Amino acid sequence: MITLAERINGQFLDVKKAIKERDPSVIHELAKKQTEAGATYLDINVGTAAADQEDAMKWLVESTQEAVNTPIAIDSQKLSVIKAGLEVIKNDVMINSAQGDPEVLDTYMQLAKEHNAALICLTMNKEGIPQNVDTRIEIAAEIAGKALEHDVDMDKIFIDPILFSIPVDQKQPAYMLEVFSQIKLISDPSPHITVGLSNLAQGTQEKSLICRTFLTMAIAAGMDTALMDVLDTELMDAAICSEMLLNKQIYSDSFLKAARV
């Protein structure tokens, strides 16, 4: 499974303070710990931690790269912030994320092509986030079509159908499983499927349990990527075990240890 580690984010108080004080030690520690926990990418999000988000993104990317060689996902809804991060990238990179409007997709597909970057695309457009399966699939198909149009390898495309929290809409997780299954059919090869896993449990008391349970269900339905708390050992173990049970990993008595090597 492809994991995007969520912790270098200005919404967390320690990261917000580190950005304000330009203290790289906090970022170094988080980068190392998440890499050791098995992160495929380190997602970096300034959030609202700085007035100058472009400069803060550059600093976060540079600080992270001082500590590890793990690929980075530059996470922002602002194109200028994405471009600022790309200016200082040294290793493989992912752009997180683009909305599903055709003109927006054109811009981001070109950017991804230019930087040989993976690209997360959201199933939302100017009308907002769809509340049904069919519209999400229509936007997903538009994303796949734009990737073909711009000659972007489908293995670089990650579609995020946007996961709501349980307190907001309890029907959404079941919708997501259907969306995952249908996205696997829109092209051959199919794009990757991802979600912001922690969004599901916002405002709940059993965050780890809810995320862990949905993760195993989602992997069975075709999801192969998630922005998640890789420092939650039980969550990571659930992902590894799910893939083993789906015959995507070889079983041995030490399959958990082997998956982390």
Which alpha helices (H) appear in 150-249, and where do they start and end? 172-183, 207-221, 233-245
pLDDT at 213: 97
Angle, vertex CA 47, rays to CA 171 and CA 81, nearest 5: 115
pLDDT at 72: 98
Q: Which helix (H) or strand (E) holds 14?
A: helix 13-21
Angle, vertex CA 204, rays to CA 227 and CA 237, nearest 5: 45
Q: Are 125 and 101 in contact (CB under 8 A)?
A: yes
pLDDT digits (tens, 9 = 90+) for 132-182: 899 999 999 999 999 999 999 999 999 999 999 999 989 889 989 999 999
Q: Which two tokens stand for residue 104?
A: 């927006």
- DSSP letters for 224-258: -EEEE-TT-HHHHHHHHHHHHHTTSS---TTHHHH
Q: Is the pTM of this model over 0.85?
A: yes
What is the CB neighbour count within 10 angstroms for residue 250? 9
Q: Walk across the sheet containing 93-98 and list its strands.
A: 192-193, 157-160, 118-122, 93-98, 72-75, 41-45, 2-9, 225-228
Q: Are 140 and 134 in contact (CB under 8 A)?
A: no
pLDDT digits (tens, 9 = 90+) for 23-57: 999 999 999 999 999 999 999 999 988 999 999 99
pLDDT band, residue 22 (cuts 50/70/90): very high
Question: Over 80: is that where the pLDDT of 71 sits?
Answer: yes
pLDDT at 260: 79
Cβ within 8 Å of residue 184, ≥6 positions away: 190, 193, 222
pLDDT digits (tens, 9 = 90+) for 169-192: 898 899 899 999 999 999 999 999
